[in-house]
């Protein structure tokens, strides 16, 4: 699996988990959803993604977006 796909899987999982936590635990978990969304937005413009850098150092094969 490429870095691009892993970033999308991770971001989607965090968004869904934070929505569940907001519903069942505390509404402030929505801040995590907002953070992930903002990070996805800025990475689409800048190409900088901290998770992609970590995955690259771990030896995951690069994709098209984060090489």
State the average pLDDT for the chain.
93
67 pLDDT above the threshold of 70:
no
5 pLDDT above the threshold of 80:
yes
Domain residue extents for the chain: 3-57
How far is the CA of 59 from the CAs of 2, 8, 17, 56, in angstroms?
10, 17, 27, 5
* Best CA proximity match to 67, nearest among 6, 4, 1: 4
4 pLDDT above the threshold of 80:
yes
- Can you give the pTM of this predicted structure? 0.84
> Residue 11: enclosing H or E segment and its boundaries?
helix 3-24
Per-residue model confidence (pLDDT) at position 64: 85
Q: Please say whether the beta carbons of 4 and 66 come within 8 A.
A: yes
């Amino acid at each position: 699996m490429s870095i691009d796909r892993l970033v999308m899987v991770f971001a989607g999982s965090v968004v869904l988990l934070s929505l569940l936590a907001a519903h069942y635990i505390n509404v402030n978990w929505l801040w995590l959803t907002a953070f992930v969304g903002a990070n996805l937005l800025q990475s689409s413009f800048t190409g900088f993604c901290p998770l992609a850098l970590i995955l690259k150092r771990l030896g995951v094969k690069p994709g098209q977006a984060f090489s």
